[in-house]
Amino acid sequence: MSNPLLSDWDTPFGIAPFDLISDEHYAPAFEIELQRHREKINAITSSQAVPDFTNTIEALEVAVVDLQKVLSVFFTVASADSNETREALQRDLSPKLAAHFSSITSDKALYKRVADCWMRRDSLAINEEQQRVLMLTHRWFLRSGASLTGAQDTRMQEIKARLAVLGTQFTQNLLSDERTWFLKLEESDLQGLPDFAIAAVHSAGQDKGLGPVVTTSRSIITPFLQFSPHRKLREKAYMAWVSRGANGGDTDNRSVAKEILALREERAQLLGYANFAQYKLETEMAKTPDSVRKLLLEVWQPAKARANSDAKILEDMLHADNIEGSLRPWDWHYYASKRRKTEHDIDDALLKPYLQLERMIEAAFACATRLFGLQFKALELPLYHSDCRAWEVTRDGQHLAVFIGDYFARDSKRSGAWCSAMRKQAMFPSAQTPVVINVCNFAKSEPSLLSFDDARTLFHEFGHALHHMLSNVTYESISGTAVARDFVELPSQLYEHWLELPEVLAEFATHTETGDPMPTEMLCKLLNAASFDTGFATVEYVASALVDLELHDGPAPVDVMQRQAEVLRDIGMPEAISMRHATPHFAHVFAGDGYASGYYSYMWSEVMDADAFAAFEEAGGAFDPERAKALEDNILSTGGSQDAQELYLAFRGKLPQVEALLKGRGLM
């Protein structure tokens, strides 16, 4: 029987034929495509022709296409709809992939050809985009250890293989903890919960064949912490949330994180860097750990001052409820919600019916239509899960992309929200349009209602999707979100601003039962409270970013939890607030290298997104067509074809200062 992963996909828009793909198809497809890729690499290195851009750099771009096609399908499914078979496949594949690509970057004959092209780049008669691809390719080989020889080369390959195993182990340990923990609730425990939260805990319980339960899904546990008057239950739920990955036994991630940090340090030192943070940040906009630390500490001080001031108010509310002692982390959401209702007259139970998932999807689409002329048409396609939905994206009648939305939490999906491309835009070796996926973890209920933070997440991930959809470059390696890590969050965070526009909410924030728009008074209160509790949100984020930085900027710690505690002590972490992501469940940092030493990038990008939205406001308003065109031409369509700083300067004409962020967060 033929393997659909290895066949040409005669499907609408070349979408993967998910209805034909079974788990049994993956392993043989991996083996075949890894071998084919190696053969294509051998053909490049065995060529007797003088190395040039076509026979070396473009040949490398072409060689990986078929392998990437298979891998993109598997990793999409493995992250969003995992099972025991897929987890076992991932454990088996990760070291194989690491070894495979290590063998390529350590191929001295191949590196010699790439280096030869780089040395002769001025005589190759290639355009600016090709110059950029050549530079990035050469840099990738160097930073992967291509110039290492002998024992150092061997050790580098061993480190990469082991890191791949550990990253997969970290992810699967975390998923296991998230999948297995739940807190059973009696009907009396539902007291104080609004209808939408009650519906969510019942739905979560039904999935497990039980009555109502609290799980570690953020869209379930956060409302529970906000509304449950049962302090003991809040504490149980909160401790389960912050203890993920640190519960002992086979799924404990503390020793995994320790080994990852040690191997990253060794890897960096083999390449001549003092530590991993210096290695990692060299190619980002920030460039150095000191630049990152400076930004974070500039924000930390005003954020901590605000948080401490807020904590005193919340603790007074706690004491007013005849509870002795200090405010604890499982109290913050509960009393902050009460305070918000008192000070801003905002009741989330009354607000949430106006934030329907369907209407927020429409809002995200409508803003893209007004800004960039995009149109969205629902498609009926077989996808990897029944929760998934698809749309064709067009402009002026021309097909641009397929967009897939996978919005609901389930046990088989890892936590968080993300955007990925199963196929990226490119013009070489032939024109291909992107297939883009947004994955979220919203509570599944009928109707599906979002918190305002959920709605912001939806807009955030759709901003990433636009970066893929509007990409217009030649080579896949620089397409879409293939940019500096501290630049990649600019389009996503910038797009969040359109959710907060009164005209957008007035049109799309409609009541689930009556269809009436959100009352003007409620809308004004919601927007006026935009910076409410910003001290808390900023502190929990910056603490995580600083811990990430300090874990990597210096000797690898002997005890990761002790080092985490030292960093928090040194910055004066408020006792009533925890890190947003503690080390044992910090998947951004330990599931792979992507955000390692780079969790700060959300804040680095926020400095730019605040300034970038100001550019719209200074022009003709949020939907100013000239600013929208400048955003597309200089940032959204350009991918990694130019240096990130150059792209931002082309859009804005100047670089922003941290004051834009502090003002946006209401911290100055």
Sequence letter at residue 29: A
**Looking at 461, 540, 550, 632, which residue is catalytic?**
461
DSSP labels, 353-403 = GG-BHHHHHHHHHHHHHHHH--EEEEE----SSTT-EEEEEEETTEEEEEE
Question: Checking DSSP bridges between strand 213-214 and strand 183-184, what pairing results, if any?
Answer: antiparallel
306: tokens are 């605000």
Alpha-carbon span 213 to 236, nearest angstrom:
12
Nearest Cα to 499, choosing from 311, 367, 345?
367
Alpha-carbon span 375 to 396, nearest angstrom:
8
Alpha-carbon span 423 to 435, nearest angstrom:
5
Alpha-carbon span 469 to 394, nearest angstrom:
10
Alpha-carbon span 293 to 600, nearest angstrom:
9
Please say whether the beta carbons of 617 and 664 come within 8 A: no
Alpha-carbon span 230 to 237, nearest angstrom:
11
- The residues, ordered by sequence, that sit 6+ positions from 34 with a Cβ below 8 Å of its Cβ are 67, 96, 97, 100
For the chain, give percent helix, strand, coil, nearest 5: 60, 5, 30
606 catalytic? Reply is: no
Please say whether the beta carbons of 472 and 395 come within 8 A: no
DSSP labels, 486-546 = HHHHHHHHHHHHHHT-HHHHHHH-B-TTT-PBPPHHHHHHHHHTTTTTHHHHHHHHHHHHH
How many CB atoms sit inside 10 A of residue 361's CB? 20
- End-to-end CA gap in the chain: 66
Ranges of beta strands (E only) in 409-496 are 418-423, 435-442
Question: CA-CA distances (angstroms) from residue 315 to 4, 33, 339?
Answer: 60, 60, 11
Question: Which residues are known catalytic residues?
Answer: 461
